[in-house]
Amino acid sequence: MTSEKLTTAPRKPASRRYDEGCAATHAMDIIGQRWALPVMRELMLGPRRFGDLKNSINGISANLLTQRLGSLEAGGVLRRATLPPPASVPVYELTRWGHAALPLFDAMGQWGARSPGHDHRRPLSATALLLTLRSMIDGAAAAPLEGTIRLTLDGEDFSWTKDGEDIRLARGTPDRWRVSIAGAPDVLAGWLFGEGEEAMLAAADQLSVEGDLDFAMRFADCFGAASSDF
Amino acid sequence: MTSEKLTTAPRKPASRRYDEGCAATHAMDIIGQRWALPVMRELMLGPRRFGDLKNSINGISANLLTQRLGSLEAGGVLRRATLPPPASVPVYELTRWGHAALPLFDAMGQWGARSPGHDHRRPLSATALLLTLRSMIDGAAAAPLEGTIRLTLDGEDFSWTKDGEDIRLARGTPDRWRVSIAGAPDVLAGWLFGEGEEAMLAAADQLSVEGDLDFAMRFADCFGAASSDF
DNA sequence: CTGCATCCGCAGGGATACTG
DNA sequence: CAGTATCCCTGCGGATGCAG
């Protein structure tokens, strides 16, 4: 007889993905993998190095980052590349389709920011803050906020440019800006989203703002109202 | 002395969520839970019963469905309710914030449908097909497709109404329609997305179409082009 | 019919240490 | 700096049984 195993019937592989014809769940099969979303987020503003990714994604370990970069490359979201000389360092960059996920970050940001359980005061990376701001401002009464803001977050420069309905984000220092704001991402978030005068003033103390201060204030007003909605 | 365990240092709970200030990752903390997205999807067109949810979500088991319904209720996405008499049956329905995730399905659908790895021919529920179609049609050259279509999928009636930029979906039979299409969701998907004449003809054989046939053909043409993009 | 509780096997996740 | 190797543990998935 040698009855193999009565209790263990032949098991199916039991993939942890959805594998449906539904386009939304298929998207989730990709971005729903652990750490996939933060990785894509950190690449949305341009190519980055392995170590920089690891440092700006809070809590990820090297082996998991390796795994995720591998599966996202296999899925066509990103690719490995080497920066042109004299840099010649290996980086990861989004493919064209990977970049097309930007509206997805907008939609997720808009929905997530309105979550009853969302606490905007938790730490977040520079890219995370920029994309969150981008998602929260669109459609708001931010009409008179055309122009460029220079943001220095964690010591790195970024440019925020509102051009009509469009918000353009980029790494690097802009040529011209109406106001320049420097500080840690979570401090800036505390200032923009802070409820109560004291919280905002406390945050403002840790920021350095130069240029058109009135413009900065109107910028901040856009987010104070938007964070409490539902 | 009594050295407890040298190899096992005090472990942190190691939550599998992101828990950041970033709004997008916070959204993922909710919809990224296993089966959360299909559950929300099946509720987007109105309240449903436990058993119906279980039947239309392929591969989920009762205990997991219970778990997910519980965590989504705790998260404010959905609530338990009882249908008014004489039905008086327990159902699950989305909260206002839960319904606000509809644009998220649009964004995910648009991105997922363009995935190089997406196979639209896999089985999918009626709701999944309707939301996938909704996400794929918007912005397309579907201007002359105003009006209502009656869709009978898996024996249940739905209405698809295009009103300007807006696509409205609902369960139930519409009062008036330009064309009525009946069949299984994956067969209809095969007809709409099918590449090659034969595939479309084979699918068409298994569908029953009544009313304005020309309208139905123009409707189908919207999706054949959209599915191959990147 | 509508769920909830429990047991078990397994794959993926997380921390740490290590190699090129 | 850029990953790989190892080990442990949790959560998922499936089956089953039970209560209202």
Residues in chain A: 230
Half-sphere exposure of A216 (CA within 13 A, CB side): 19
Which 91-110 residues of chain A touch chain B by CB within 8 A?
96-97, 100-101, 103-110
Q: Nearest CB to B104: which of A19, A107, A124?
A: A107
* Residues on chain A touching B107 (C-beta within 8 angstroms): 103-104, 106-108
Residues close to nucleic acid strand C (C-beta < 7 A):
A 7-8, 11, 13-14, 16, 33-35, 59-64, 67; B 9, 12, 14, 16, 49-51, 62-63, 66, 69-70, 80, 89-90
What is the mean pLDDT, run by run of 10 residues, along chain B of 230 residues? 38 76 96 95 95 91 91 93 80 96 97 92 94 83 85 96 92 96 94 79 87 91 67
- Give CA separation, A55 vs A50, A153, A170, in Å: 9, 14, 19
Q: Residue B11 contacts by C-beta under 8 Å, 6 or more apart in sequence?
A: none
Q: Nearest CB to A37: which of B24, B96, B121?
A: B24
Give the alpha-carbon dihedral of B142, B145, B148, B154, to 10 degrees: -50
User: Which chain A residue has its CA at the smallest distance from B30's CA?
Assistant: A112
How big is the CA angle at A133 (ends B14 and B165), to the nearest 5 degrees? 110
The better pLDDT of the pair A8, A174 is held by: A174
- Average model confidence (pLDDT) across chain A: 87
pLDDT surpassing 80 at residue A173 = yes
Q: Nearest CB to B112: which of A26, A109, A111?
A: A26
Q: How confident is the model at residue A171 (pLDDT cuts 50, 70, 90)?
A: very high
- CA torsion sign for A100, A104, A105, A106 is positive
Which 175-214 residues of chain A touch chain B by CB within 8 A?
185-186, 189
- Is the CB of residue B37 less than 8 Å away from at least one CB of chain A? yes
pLDDT attached to residue B1: 37
> What pTM did the predictor assign?
0.92
Nucleotides of chain D touched by protein CB (<7 A): 1-6, 8-17
Report how far residue B68's alpha carbon sits from residue A113's, in angstroms, rounded to the nearest whole number: 21
Report how far residue B24's alpha carbon sits from residue A65's, in angstroms, rounded to the nearest whole number: 19
- CA of A88 and C1' of D12: distance in angstroms? 43
* Residues on chain B touching A32 (C-beta within 8 angstroms): 28, 32, 37
Which of A72-81, A98-107, B156-165 shows the highest mean pLDDT? A98-107
* Residues on chain A touching B111 (C-beta within 8 angstroms): 23, 27, 100-101, 103-104
What are chain A's domains? 23-102 (1.10.10.10), 125-220 (3.30.1050.10)
pLDDT attached to residue A89: 86
For D1, nearest residue by CA–C1' is: A51
Cβ(B48)–Cβ(B91) below 8 Å: yes
CA distance B224 to chain A (A): 15
pLDDT attached to residue A3: 34
Interface test with B, best of A11, A17, A19, A20 (most B CBs within 10 A): A20
- CA of A138 and C1' of C18: distance in angstroms? 48
Q: Strand D closer than 7 Å to the CB of B34?
A: yes
- CA of A14 and C1' of D12: distance in angstroms? 10
| Amino acid at the residue B172 | G
Q: How many Cβ atoms sit within 10 Å of the Cβ of residue A89? A: 12
pLDDT attached to residue A83: 79
Residue B179: what are its φ and ψ, rounded to 5°? -150, 150
| Amino acid at the residue A3 | S
Q: Average pLDDT in the A95-117 region?
A: 96
Contact at CB, A108 and B104, closer than 8 angstroms: yes
- Nearest nt to the CA of B16 via C1' is C13
